[in-house]
Structure 1
């Protein structure tokens, strides 16, 4: 036996002893009110018997423990060697606060931007990253979205030579997006050529004076552009509440390019006065880049800003429309035509949903009828202005909206103009790297292919095993809580027992043949991103039709957080990618990272029920905070700062999540004691090393965490005596005097 193997066996023997001691400590320390009940006593005896069995089993099976040598483990080992080890770092390692001294890869804060941006339509999935690297380092924390994007990037850049047609087109689209040299060489010519196909443009002096509604219908059908109103497909929530799942065409106010502000006192909107000058300058710059004559461009820009300002007056924020009952107003297309006659509603909707047959008697749902009426009146006034002929300002308005839609495929001069305008509005977010932008744009059109590729490489069986194991550990943890009364406990437990945790996957995965057929009409060129992007926009029309006539499974490939759907607790595949999870990793690594995240998400989803019915949440939060104050005071950071209710809850959530994940791992070891090792690190220590790399991940709750969650390692080590060596922190000197949390 080699010296390394001997060291691992010695560390594992220490793990075994600590595991035995930890469960003994739990048995003596955890004494909730209801512990007197016979059922719990029997369960405790059963668990104790299982632990004893595990100890005996481990004693006779050390020879099965081997280091993990898979490529994934070799990569993880290399990165682990460059990351901070909580057991060898000074005490300050545990005393940082999330978001202050540590860089976050991805703030994941969706911010609505104004003006010409890269992809307003997909803002809910956009990622603004502060670091291009998604690796594991001491001064960077992992963001789930950043990790997933890195993994999708790897998938798109891997060529195994056996790709189907749809996969080849997906990767070709991605690589054409990365080819910035070809994009820069093409300049504005592709867009100008497209404008000529649409009948020209009054600004350039070459325009065949196309009909207003004809041009609008073409933009809606072929280019996914909706200048005067938005269209999407969805259910009527009032019908859905009664079990009716029919989908309808829904019409909403558009995403105007001009910045808008809402006056809650007058309940009126208007264009932001202070932004009009930079907005006017940016529009002027776009016309210059498109070769518009300077002699006439200012007039057209002025008309564009004026029309935008008039449309902005009828805008209302969602909260206001909701309070006034302006959402989901049902109306036939025929009735809508009478209310807003400037738009050929049947013709435009037939174009947007071609070749699906629509009639004037079909119902649509409106989300701001006053805006639609005002928009129609505004268009009629502009059409009838004597000083303006042939609706040139309306046509320019539509062309500039089309430019906005195609902005991601334009050269860098257009992007810099958009960036400068965004900075003038006070937005200071750093630019995302090109590869990330290209992954997001690829996902917009080829999400079904990426879902297929991700499902092929995701170890679904292993992921589901972790989900179920952590969920079972979570349920057992609930039995330790002190509840307000037995009824409260029963209500929560009934809800938890009825939940069905599972991996979020499609019921019928798309076959390669089906995907090839879906993208059969698309021709992808590795050197023509603009052409590829225009074809991508046409895919959105197919998706609208599919949503209206079928019941497709809406799988979000970029989803990284679970959600409740009926009784199902669905965990997206994006949570189970390297370096958070890999089927060849030691299970200690998977449970320390992915297992902890699963536990934390479950607790957040069910926190309102638990915190309102249990006395334990705030008591444990304060107890852990006392540990932290003791150490931070000793380190000279002094002062007792009371925690808010949100902070107490978040401390309890993350502390409990770490306990739940650790317990799930230990229970898994009872069933399969032959886990592998990494870099000669023992099981428990490897678990904590893995946890320490995701403990401060950017999530919606990290602002409520009053200290670096890695500090929780010291609390658990002090409580259960589980750790192979005590972390180098001053808590060692006081752990015996602090109460167990």
Structure 2
């Protein structure tokens, strides 16, 4: 539930997965899965990828929402005609113990509710070395990692061929002896295959177009811009080529432009670049550093023309559909037809091919930048993109370099991360759907889908009630909004195709993992996943496709599909437990559900109708009233400061709307499930009366 992403997926580390590398590889999205590579503007909204400031604000809102739910539940109990029974089941006793141990009863909840509810948990769970943050999401992912490790290391005769490929990939990653023997050789050979790199040896070629084509398709990098296939925002029943801004090595343009504030990070990044160049045989530092500085300066030039995310939130304004011929006129530095035909082969692209472009101004400016830049620097920059993405598949020296830069970037302490955790994360990040059946069978009961569906239904009812209270919304828009809420499609646990071995094997048929060759397996995967992406171009989007793997501790809303997705990985304690009273599940996963539902009506989601099409379906009066409401919220959050850092209220607007919408849905929720208490289904936890409001305050 974070800013949605357009462009190659898995940028910053998601708590639900991803190898701990600087730039994680994209997840595989087979034909039966969602191919929706989108940037923080109009892709799926997910929970995990947030800044530290946003995380703390979200936690505060969740605590308030959960507290309201629990308080109203307690008030509802007062209307029962008989004394509620105390729940003494194993689940209730376990939850009670967890609640008490997580609290800090020495704190006045009226002064500091967060510490009162969660102070005990914070004391018992300090942020581990190597991490910049830690919470219940992190804890659950650690738990899921241990399960995946056991499954990958214990092969059975009943697993499918796709599952075996995941095991081969994992074991190759775990073969440190072989990886240390090869050292930098695999990447050095790849660089030579691409024509060389002036950092590691003399270079004087004229192969800009060829190199750009190969690194874009075979190795899934995005220098200068990103190219991908996704549902057309204005015609959600059709896939279309999309082009967007890309190319920065650091997470945000602000790192490059606010040089005084980020001097330490920029110096650390340059040192990291120089270190990788040396490890790849680049010779002495005096030769490498000036060229790496040129690459950093080029990225800074890209940052200068990159449009800030807060200015990209109105999708009606930034959406432009052009033909390939018009794209050639817009950005003539690229020979677009040869480029597109090469990366989408065997699909034929002609001058009339429709292409959705975001930030036309950026593409025009990046074209000028390319034309005005020396060809050697352009090649150095493109190969650096490749090196940055693939170096973590090499020996420990490269891992150490990554870790050292992360320490500068996020202030994380150096840690000896067990190799198995790195390999589990990377295997899940790449082949998470292939290993999905093993994880689902081990963790997810089939009736959990039905139980979770009931929870979502109740949250939807509460959410629709909240729409009825919006005095600033006109009746026609309110009616359409309720229709959109009713039409939201629920995806729970896992996509059905993964549980059919034949279907799963068909999806991964063209991918081969080689024993003991970790780097080679990763490169094969990049090429394979692009071929799958390209194959989607002439196919219609599938509503049953997924863009998150089953083990992921995460959730998202997709506007072009008008659907919310909750993988099996998040449908576990403390968010959801089959044996727990519904009140606890409402306070856990219910908060997440309410947040995702609200994304359908935040400042970006509201632009999409019930069929997932980008169009102006709100009346102008309601649009203006909505903007007035949100400006107030931008100002409110823009005045919040955490650790001396002001929140960017406009950049976080979508998340703030979702948090507040979830709060209102939670406030109304008890009206729908109070009848369960009246029937004696919920019972009560064996807690002192003054603590009866805590069960869902600690998610």
Structure 1 length-normalised TM: 0.60
Q: CA deviation at 1:656?
A: 7.2
Query: Could you say which residue in structure 2 is the equivalent of 1:115?
Result: none
Query: Could you say which residue in structure 2 is the equivalent of 1:286?
Result: 276
1:104–1:369 Cα change, 3 Å? farther
Are the equivalent residues in 1 in contact too, given 2:510–2:528 (CA < 8 A)?
no
Are the equivalent residues in 1 in contact too, given 2:140–2:553 (CA < 8 A)?
no
Tell me if 1:534 matches 2:519: no
Mapping of residues 173-192 of structure 1, within 5 Å = 173-192=169-188
Query: Could you say which residue in structure 1 is the equivalent of 2:225?
Result: 229
Name the structure, 1 or 2, with higher relative contact order (CA <8 Å, separation 6+).
Answer: 2
Query: Could you say which residue in structure 2 is the equivalent of 1:401?
Result: 385
Tell me if 1:468 matches 2:454: yes
Secondary structure at the aligned position of 1:230 is classed as: strand
Q: C-alpha deviations, 1:603-632, integer Å up to 9, x for none?
A: 55678999xxxxxxxxxxxxxxxxxxxxxx
Q: C-alpha deviations, 1:40-61, integer Å up to 9, x for none?
A: xxxxxxxx8xx99xx9xx9xxx
Q: CA deviation at 1:283?
A: 2.1
Query: Could you say which residue in structure 2 is the equivalent of 1:441?
Result: 426
Tell me if 1:352 matches 2:367: no
In 1, distance between residues paired with 2:146 and 2:97? 19
Mapping of residues 359-438 of structure 1, within 5 Å = 359-383=350-374, 391-425=375-409, 427-428=411-412, 434-438=419-423
1:653–1:145 Cα change, 3 Å? farther
1:203–1:162 Cα change, 3 Å? same
Are the equivalent residues in 2 in contact too, given 1:575–1:594 (CA < 8 A)?
no
Q: CA deviation at 1:299?
A: 4.2
In 2, distance between residues paired with 1:218 and 1:609? 37
1:92–1:180 Cα change, 3 Å? farther
In 1, distance between residues paired with 2:332 and 2:107? 68
User: Quick check: which has more Rg, 1 or 2?
Assistant: 1
Mapping of residues 285-364 of structure 1, within 5 Å = 285-294=275-284, 296-321=287-312, 327-364=318-355
Secondary structure at the aligned position of 2:391 is classed as: helix
In 1, distance between residues paired with 2:319 and 2:463? 43
Query: Could you say which residue in structure 1 is the equivalent of 2:245?
Result: 253
Are the equivalent residues in 2 in contact too, given 1:468–1:502 (CA < 8 A)?
no
Query: Could you say which residue in structure 2 is the equivalent of 1:642?
Result: none
Secondary structure at the aligned position of 2:306 is classed as: coil
Tell me if 1:575 matches 2:570: yes
Are the equivalent residues in 2 in contact too, given 1:106–1:128 (CA < 8 A)?
no
Mapping of residues 668-687 of structure 1, within 5 Å = 669=681, 684-685=685-686
Query: Could you say which residue in structure 1 is the equivalent of 2:156?
Result: 160
Mapping of residues 578-617 of structure 1, within 5 Å = 587=579, 589=580, 591=582, 593-604=584-595
Q: C-alpha deviations, 1:205-226, integer Å up to 9, x for none?
A: 3657361111111111211122
Aligned length: 552
Query: Could you say which residue in structure 1 is the equivalent of 2:211?
Result: 215
Q: C-alpha deviations, 1:153-196, integer Å up to 9, x for none?
A: 45444433321111011122233334444434432121112122
Secondary structure at the aligned position of 1:231 is classed as: strand
Are the equivalent residues in 2 in contact too, given 1:86–1:93 (CA < 8 A)?
no
> Which residue, 145, 165, 169 being the options, matches 1:169?
165
Tell me if 1:560 matches 2:579: no
1:146–1:533 Cα change, 3 Å? same
Secondary structure at the aligned position of 1:103 is classed as: helix
1:248–1:304 Cα change, 3 Å? same
Structure 2 length-normalised TM: 0.63
In 2, distance between residues paired with 1:606 and 1:357? 39
Q: C-alpha deviations, 1:328-385, integer Å up to 9, x for none?
A: 22222222223323222222222222222212221212222333223222322334xx
Q: CA deviation at 1:303?
A: 3.2
> Which residue, 503, 518, 532 being the options, matches 1:514?
503
Are the equivalent residues in 1 in contact too, given 2:200–2:282 (CA < 8 A)?
yes
In 2, distance between residues paired with 1:602 and 1:525? 40
In 2, distance between residues paired with 1:648 and 1:344? 47
Q: CA deviation at 1:270?
A: 8.0
1:66–1:329 Cα change, 3 Å? closer
1:372–1:657 Cα change, 3 Å? same
1:151–1:380 Cα change, 3 Å? same
Q: CA deviation at 1:236?
A: 3.4
Are the equivalent residues in 1 in contact too, given 2:245–2:362 (CA < 8 A)?
yes
Are the equivalent residues in 2 in contact too, given 1:596–1:658 (CA < 8 A)?
no
Query: Could you say which residue in structure 2 is the equivalent of 1:641?
Result: none
Are the equivalent residues in 2 in contact too, given 1:199–1:210 (CA < 8 A)?
no
In 2, distance between residues paired with 1:455 and 1:646? 29
1:474–1:225 Cα change, 3 Å? closer
Secondary structure at the aligned position of 1:395 is classed as: helix
Q: C-alpha deviations, 1:652-671, integer Å up to 9, x for none?
A: 8768768977864775849x
Q: CA deviation at 1:447?
A: 3.4
Q: C-alpha deviations, 1:100-150, integer Å up to 9, x for none?
A: 553399999xxxxxxxxxxxxxxxxxx96756xx9xxxxx78755555555
In 1, distance between residues paired with 2:301 and 2:103? 64
In 1, distance between residues paired with 2:155 and 2:122? 33
Secondary structure at the aligned position of 1:201 is classed as: coil
Mapping of residues 236-275 of structure 1, within 5 Å = 236-237=232-233, 239-240=234-235, 244-257=236-249, 261=253, 274=263
Mapping of residues 478-497 of structure 1, within 5 Å = none
Secondary structure at the aligned position of 2:569 is classed as: helix
Are the equivalent residues in 2 in contact too, given 1:142–1:694 (CA < 8 A)?
no
Secondary structure at the aligned position of 1:203 is classed as: coil
In 2, distance between residues paired with 1:561 and 1:664? 27
> Which residue, 536, 546, 555 being the options, matches 1:547?
536
Are the equivalent residues in 1 in contact too, given 2:226–2:246 (CA < 8 A)?
yes
1:663–1:90 Cα change, 3 Å? farther
Query: Could you say which residue in structure 2 is the equivalent of 1:9?
Result: none
Q: CA deviation at 1:316?
A: 1.7
In 2, distance between residues paired with 1:446 and 1:227? 25
Q: CA deviation at 1:401?
A: 0.9
In 2, distance between residues paired with 1:559 and 1:452? 16
Secondary structure at the aligned position of 2:404 is classed as: helix
